[in-house]
Amino acid sequence: MMGRWVEINLEEPRWASLGLKPLARRAVKAVAAELGLGKHGISLLGCDDARISVLNGQFRGKPAPTNVLSWPAADLTPEADGDAPLVPKAKEALGDVAIAWETCEKEAAEQGKSLQNHVTHLIVHATLHLIGYDHQRRRDAARMEALETKVLASLGVSDPYRDSAA
């Protein structure tokens, strides 16, 4: 495989009308460029709330809709709070992501954001999870949020933490 790749399966047809495929590729490319990643890829499922509820129940024990889920291919999480994650191996699949239409649409409306910008943020966020970034510990969360904001700015998307009540 040459360069970064994003395999996309659209179970929910409304994702096609949003342009999820180019949006996702652009978001993943921006994360990879910011972190200096080479030939890595992700698999993305564009689904609906019913499907993500099943996945959330199966993998997290929470059978309810959520906006996005991620499954890293490898545990790259740093041991110390605030440290950078381990660098993924070249040509490695980073993992899988699923994103739910209804929840994303609802959140974007509630937060007064365009659906495209909200989804871009969620894909950047999920991709960072695949690379080992997390927000469970205070310094890790600050590091991840700063990186998300920087990547989103490179895409022309405003800071989602500053510009929303969420």
pLDDT tens by residue, 78-135: 888 888 888 776 667 899 999 999 999 999 999 999 999 999 999 999 999 999 999 9
Distances (CA, A) of 23 to 27, 44, 79, 120, 157: 6, 12, 32, 7, 12
Domain count, the chain: 1
Assign residue 61 a region: left if phi > 0, alpha if psi is -120 to 50, beta otherwise? left
CATH of the domain at 118: 3.40.390.30
Domain membership flag for residue 160: no
Domain membership flag for residue 162: no
DSSP E strands, 2-141: 5-10, 41-47, 68-72, 93-100
Tens digit of each residue's pLDDT (9 = 90 or more) over 2-60:
346 789 999 999 999 999 999 999 999 999 999 988 778 899 999 999 999 999 999 99
Domain membership flag for residue 92: yes
pLDDT of amino acid 60:
95
Domain residue limits at 83: 5-154
CB 87 within 8 A of CB 33: no
Domain membership flag for residue 120: yes
The fraction of the chain above a pLDDT of 90, given in percent, is 74
Mean pLDDT of 133-144: 92
pLDDT of amino acid 109:
97
Q: Give the 3-state secondary structure of residue 88.
A: coil
